[in-house]
C-alpha cells in the first residue's frame, strides 16, 4: 500500500505542481486516475506532509495499491553514488525555469556540484543546464548563480499556463513557484479595472492578468533595465496589448499613475516598506496583493500588525492570507490580500 493524496481532477494540476516543487512526489509509483479523482503517490516525509495538509485542509490522504513506475531513475539522487553522509544532505527539491534547473546546495556539497548536475541531466530529459543557487543579492534582488553542468547559459524560455516568458537568470529574478498563485490572483480580479504591478520583473503577473482580463489596464514597473527589456519582449511574445511597461523606481513612477483597483507587490523581502505608498494609490474597496516572508507561527501576528498600521491612516481594512510555498524549515512565503 502506498500513501497518496486523493484530489478532485479539477484541482489536480495545481496541487501536483506544488507537490513536485516540495520534492514530495513518489516517482517510484504512477499517478492514477478514476472518474472523478486523481491519486498522487507521496514520499514518506511526515514533516513536509503535515505542512501540506495544514495548507490544504480539504485534501484527503489515503492508502492505495499503486502501480510501480518503470525502473528508470525519477529523482536525480537515484543516479548518484556518493558517500552516505553526503547523500543524506542532498536537497529533495529544486526549481526548473524553462530548460534550466536551479538547485541550492549546502556548502559541503558544492564541491560535488558537477556530479550532482550530471545526475540531474541524466534524470530529467527536459533539463539542458544545471545552475547552483548562490542566494539573492544586490539592489535588484537577483539570484546569484554558478554553473554546474550542461550547456553554459542562463537565458531560457519558460512556459507557464500557456504563457511564454523569456528569462535570464543571471540578470533578473524569476520564481516558478508562484505559477499557481499568479493564476489565483488572476481569478481575484474583476475587470474593467486598473492594475499596478509595482515590482514586475519580466512580467509574469502583469502578462497573466492582462491576458485573462483584456479590458484591464495594467501598469508594470521595474527598476532593473534588464528586466524591463525582457518584459517588453514578453508583452509582444504573448500578444497582450493592455500592459504599459515602465522602467524606473516604483516609489517615483507609481505617483504618476492613475489610482488603481488592484496593486501587486511581489517583493517578499521588502514589500512591506512600500505598503503605505501603495495605499495612497489604491481606490476605495481596492485590493493589494502583498508577498512577504514570515515564520509560519507568526503570520497571524503580522496580519494584525498590518491591520493596526492601516487603521492609523484612518482606513478600515480586511486582510486575508494564504501560504504560497515554504522558504525555510520555519518560514514560508505568504500572500496577504489587503482589502481597504
Q: Where are the domains of the chain?
A: 2-64, 76-153, 177-339
* Residue among 90, 102, 101 nearest 128 (CA): 101
Average of per-residue pLDDT values in the chain: 92
For the chain, the 3-state helix, strand and coil shares in percent, each to the nearest 5, are 35, 35, 30
Helix runs in the chain, H state only = 12-21, 46-55, 84-87, 113-123, 179-188, 204-212, 225-237, 250-253, 275-281, 299-311
pLDDT tens digits, residue range 12-71? Answer: 888 888 888 778 888 888 899 888 899 999 888 777 777 777 777 677 889 998 888 765
Whether residue 72 has pLDDT greater than 70: no
Query: Residues 179-202: what's their mean pLDDT?
Result: 96
DSSP secondary structure, 269-304, as one string: TTGGGGHHHHHHHEEEEEEEEEEEEEEGGGHHHHHH
Crossing angle of the two packed helices 204-212 and 179-188, in degrees rounded to 10: 40
CATH topology of domain 76-153: GMP Synthetase; Chain A, domain 3 (3.30.300)
Per-residue pLDDT, 263: 98
In percent, the amount of the chain with pLDDT more than 90 equals 71
pLDDT given at position 168? 97
Query: pLDDT confidence of 262, banded at 50, 70, 90?
Result: very high
Backbone φ and ψ for 214, nearest 5 degrees, come out as -65, -15
The pLDDT value recorded for residue 71 is 59
In angstroms, rounded to a whole number, what is the distance separating the alpha carbons of residues 41 and 161?
23
Alpha carbons 224 and 279: distance in angstroms, whole number: 23
- Per-residue pLDDT band for 194 (boundaries 50, 70, 90) equals very high
Are 305 and 294 contacting, i.e. CB atoms less than 8 angstroms apart? no
Cell of 146: 554558478
What pLDDT was estimated at residue 14? 82
- The neighbouring-strand residues paired with 68 are 29
CB-based contact 155:168 (threshold 8 Å): yes
Answer yes or no: CATH 3.40.50.1220 is held by domain 2-64: no
Cβ-count burial 199-234 (b if 16+ within 10 Å, e if not): bbbbbbbbbbbbbbbeebbbbbbbbbebbbbbbbbb
| Beta bridge pairs of residue 282 | 260
What pLDDT shows up at residue 231? Answer: 98
Model confidence at 323: pLDDT above 80:
yes
Q: How far apart are CA 181 and CA 193, in angstroms?
A: 20
The residue-averaged pLDDT of 225-254 equals 97
> Of 73, 83, 82, 175, which is closest to residue 125 (Cα–Cα)?
73
- The pLDDT assigned to 50 comes to 78
Range of 29-43, 58-72, 223-237, 313-327 with top mean pLDDT: 223-237
Q: What is the CATH number of domain 177-339?
A: 3.40.50.150
Q: What is the pLDDT of residues 101-154, one digit of tens each?
A: 999 999 999 999 999 999 999 999 899 999 999 988 777 888 899 999 999 999
Amino acid at each position: 500500500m502506498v500513501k497518496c493524496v486523493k484530489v478532485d481532477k479539477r484541482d489536480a494540476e495545481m496541487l501536483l505542481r506544488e507537490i513536485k516543487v516540495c520534492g514530495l512526489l513518489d516517482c517510484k509509483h504512477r499517478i492514477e486516475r478514476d472518474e472523478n479523482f486523481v491519486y498522487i503517490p507521496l514520499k514518506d516525509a511526515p514533516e513536509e506532509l503535515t505542512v501540506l495538509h495544514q495548507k490544504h485542509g480539504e485534501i484527503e490522504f489515503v492508502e492505495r495499491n499503486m502501480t510501480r513506475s518503470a525502473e528508470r531513475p525519477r529523482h536525480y539522487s537515484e543516479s548518484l553514488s556518493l558517500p552516505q553522509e553526503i547523500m543524506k544532505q542532498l536537497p529533495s527539491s529544486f526549481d526548473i525555469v524553462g530548460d534550466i534547473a536551479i538547485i541550492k546546495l549546502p556548502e559541503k556539497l558544492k564541491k560535488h556540484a558537477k556530479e550532482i548536475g550530471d545526475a540531474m541531466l541524466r534524470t530529467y530529459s527536459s533539463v539542458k543546464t544545471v545552475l547552483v543557487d548562490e542566494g539573492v543579492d544586490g539592489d535588484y534582488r537577483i539570484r546569484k548563480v554558478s554553473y554546474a553542468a550542461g550547456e553554459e547559459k542562463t537565458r531560457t524560455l519558460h512556459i507557464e499556463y500557456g504563457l511564454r516568458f523569456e528569462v535570464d537568470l543571471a540578470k533578473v529574478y524569476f520564481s516558478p513557484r508562484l505559477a499557481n498563485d499568479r493564476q489565483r490572483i488572476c481569478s481575484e480580479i474583476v475587470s474593467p479595472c486598473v492594475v499596478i504591478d509595482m515590482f514586475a520583473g519580466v512580467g509574469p503577473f502583469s502578462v497573466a492578468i492582462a491576458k485573462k482580463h483584456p479590458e484591464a489596464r495594467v501598469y508594470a514597473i521595474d527598476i532593473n533595465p534588464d528586466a524591463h527589456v525582457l518584459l517588453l519582449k514578453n508583452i509582444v511574445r504573448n500578444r497582450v496589448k493592455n500592459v504599459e511597461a515602465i522602467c524606473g523606481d516604483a516609489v517615483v513612477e507609481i505617483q504618476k499613475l492613475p489610482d488603481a483597483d488592484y496593486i501587486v507587490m511581489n517583493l517578499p523581502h521588502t514589500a512591506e516598506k512600500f505598503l503605505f505608498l501603495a495605499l495612497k494609490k489604491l481606490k476605495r474597496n481596492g485590493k493589494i496583493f502583498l508577498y512577504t516572508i514570515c515564520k509560519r507561527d507568526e503570520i497571524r501576528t503580522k496580519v494584525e500588525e498590518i491591520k493596526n498600521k492601516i487603521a492609523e491612516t484612518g482606513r478600515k481594512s480586511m486582510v486575508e492570507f494564504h501560504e504560497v510555498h515554504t522558504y525555510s524549515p520555519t518560514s514560508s512565503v505568504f500572500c496577504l490580500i489587503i482589502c481597504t
